[in-house]
Amino acid sequence: MLSMHTSPLAALGGRETGGMNVYVREVAAQLGSMGVRVDVFTRRDSADTPEVAEFAPGARLVQVTAGPPERVEKEDMFALTDDFARGVEAFRAREGIRYDLVHSHYWLSGVAGDRLVADWCVPHLAMFHTLGDVKLRARASEHERPERLEAERRLVHRLDRIVAATEHERRLLRQIYRVPPRRVAVIPLGVDLETFRPRDRGAARSRRGIDAAERILLAVGRIEPLKGLDIFVRALGEMTDLARVTLLVIGGDERAEAEVARLRAIASEIGVQEHVRFLGPVAHEALPDYYNAADVVVMPSFYESFGLVAVEAMASGVPVVASRVGGLASTVADGRTGYLVPWRCPEPFAEKVELLLRNEPLRASLGRAGVVRMQSYSWAAVSERLCDLYAELADQQGSAFAAGGG
């Protein structure tokens, strides 16, 4: 697996660390446990990390030097894709490994992977996680570099298979990029059902210092304009009863300061600043407490290719009020596990959240339905489907890939 621009073991909630990191870590670990040995290659961004580390049985993280061993902005990384590919090949040659398949994540890895498979003659499949042209359509003021747009438009036609998180993404690949649907496999992301499950709400609240009488709305994720938090801050301004209501916002490192300042300014402008608290990033392992403490999880994004946070919330038994965009439209069952509302519209967000806050039995019943719905989203199920896809592609190319066979 190639995960060039961000390590699957990086702390979550930063500018570049979110769903993709969780996906690569969880899937690599599951595949390892199924007997498929996985090396995940990432660009070295620190001088003092070991070159190779086994992070789960059968799954290793390999750091490749490409550019300086420090943080490099994603925007500057395209120039390093050749060095990265060369570093992966050098490791492979040194270790005498013959890889059976390359699975790339995000377009930068896709570019590096494209170079590698030309020599290795093995199948190449990729997940884009986001696509430049799709982002531009979702939010007009997004900017994308031409090299990304060009690379994606080229790559989508070179890959042996694209893994899309939803049917919706497969449709976009056809409509925008003219990719025939048969070249796109739809396999959703998953959720750790052990970690994210209903638990005692009072205990979760007292562990996190949240008053039992508080009405808690929760937003979790990278803090960037595409996440649409401004829409939800405006929704708070539309609510008729804000007594004891707090929106907790989890995520965003020091590089999110400008966006946090913008959100605070909007909150002050409409007089809801006392109802919004930014908690910064929270370790993934500590998140269950916050989901379990919440009354409603909100996801007002302009676009989500999948939206792991919604799935984690539903698995925890909490109703979700989300924009009807991307993956959210297929994971959230409108009226049954939460509500889907038109994007960019504060009013329906306010209406649905108030409906839920007023009605405890409704929250409980949507929460229970969410838990049931999420049972099919385990990482084990996701990884089995991926494994079948790997085997199918390898078979087509006559390569020896087989689960359990190494």
Nearer to ligand UDP, 19 or 123 (CB): 19
Q: In the bound complex, what is the minimum distance in angstroms from residue 231's beta carbon to ligand UDP? A: 16
Nearer to ligand UDP, 29 or 101 (CB): 29
Q: In the bound complex, what is the minimum distance in angstroms from residue 179's beta carbon to ligand UDP? A: 21
Q: In the bound complex, what is the minimum distance in angstroms from residue 295's beta carbon to ligand UDP? A: 18
280: amino acid identity, one letter: G
8 Å CB contact between 91 and 64: yes
Nearer to ligand UDP, 251 or 319 (CB): 251
Q: In the bound complex, what is the minimum distance in angstroms from residue 301's beta carbon to ligand UDP? A: 8
Q: In the bound complex, what is the minimum distance in angstroms from residue 130's beta carbon to ligand UDP? A: 8
The 3-state secondary structure of the chain reads CECCCCCCCCCCCCCCCCHHHHHHHHHHHHHHHCCCCEEEEEECCCCCCCCEEEEECCEEEEEECCCCCCCCCHHHCHHHHHHHHHHHHHHHHHHCCCCCCEEEEHHHHHHHHHHHHHHHCCCEEEECCCCHHHHHHHCCCCCCCHHHHHHHHHHCCCCCEEEECCHHHHHHHHHHHCCCHHHEEECCCCECCCCCCCCCHHHHHHHCCCCCCCEEEEEECCCCHHHCHHHHHHHHHHCCCCCCEEEEEECCCHHHHHHHHHHHHHHHHCCCHHHEEEEECCCHHHHHHHHHHCCEEEECCCCCCCCHHHHHHHHCCCCEEEECCCCHHHHCCECCCEEEECCCCHHHHHHHHHHHHHCHHHHHHHHHHHHHHHHHHEHHHHHHHHHHHHHHHHHHCCCCCCCCCC
Nearer to ligand UDP, 20 or 394 (CB): 20
Nearer to ligand UDP, 307 or 338 (CB): 307
Q: In the bound complex, what is the minimum distance in angstroms from residue 297's beta carbon to ligand UDP? A: 10
Q: In the bound complex, what is the minimum distance in angstroms from residue 123's beta carbon to ligand UDP? A: 25
Q: In the bound complex, what is the minimum distance in angstroms from residue 261's beta carbon to ligand UDP? A: 18
Q: In the bound complex, what is the minimum distance in angstroms from residue 167's beta carbon to ligand UDP? A: 17
Neighbours of 364 (CB within 10 A): 13
Q: CA of 205: how far to CAs of 211, 216, 218, 404, in Å?
A: 7, 10, 13, 44
Going by C-beta distance under 8 Å and a sequence separation of 6 or more, which residues neighbour residue 226?
Answer: 135, 138, 139, 142, 301, 302, 303
Residues forming the site for ligand UDP (CB under 6 A): 12-13, 18-20, 22, 220-222, 250-251, 281-282, 284, 287, 306-309, 312
Nearer to ligand UDP, 323 or 399 (CB): 323
8 Å CB contact between 32 and 56: yes
Q: In the bound complex, what is the minimum distance in angstroms from residue 285's beta carbon to ligand UDP? A: 8
Nearer to ligand UDP, 309 or 314 (CB): 309
Nearer to ligand UDP, 28 or 88 (CB): 28
Nearer to ligand UDP, 236 or 250 (CB): 250
Nearer to ligand UDP, 88 or 332 (CB): 332
